Amino acid sequence: MQILLLSLVLGVVCAVQEPQSETDYSLFSGEWNTIYIGSSNIEKISENGPFRILLRRLDLDSAGDRIIYTFFLKVNGQCTKISSLAIKTEENTYVCHYAGKNKFEILHLSKTAIIIDIVNEDEGGLVTKMVALVGKVGDIQKEDIEKFKEVAKEKEIPEENIVNIINIDDCPTSE
């Protein structure tokens, strides 16, 4: 009986010390599209720029430790499909290698919109701040767009450095 009681107490102590994440991030896996992207360096998101990314899909594991994102990059009129892996390094902070080293944080996550804060250090050492709004086409809410614009302003990204990607996205929709 004492062993059962000791096991119960140890189980409760462990449960209190290591709270389980309440969010199953795999539920957010699926089709997503870039709606807006803003950058401190407009060249990075201009036509043929490395971050004029046309997102198509996110695949997250249940803990949110790994994200595989699939997107198109359009250069000289040619759509090229690319997939990349991001690994969680700190709470809500991820690192991936694409056009240099990228560190990003998910600032807002809902069933229809994600706002992402991105810092890119390219191969030449140039650091660029970016903010992206990705969403479910047709389901994006005005509040999400306003929140994105507020974040861009907080990150000192000028309004003229924000591109409405969804209106110029003509790469294939299916994978």
Distance CA 174, CA 145 (A): 25
Residue 87 confidence (pLDDT) above 60: yes
157: left (phi over 0), alpha (psi -120 to 50) or beta: beta
- Average of per-residue pLDDT across 66-81: 94
Which residues lie below 8 Å from residue 48, measured CB to CB, with a gap of 6+?
A: 74, 75, 76
**pLDDT given for residue 20 in this prediction:** 44
The per-residue pLDDT for 32 is: 95
pLDDT score, position 6: 30
Pinpoint the alpha helices (H) of 40-141.
none
- The pLDDT tens digits of the residues spanning 135-170 come to 987 788 999 999 999 999 999 999 999 999 999 999
- Range picked from 11-15, 56-60, 138-142 for highest mean pLDDT: 56-60
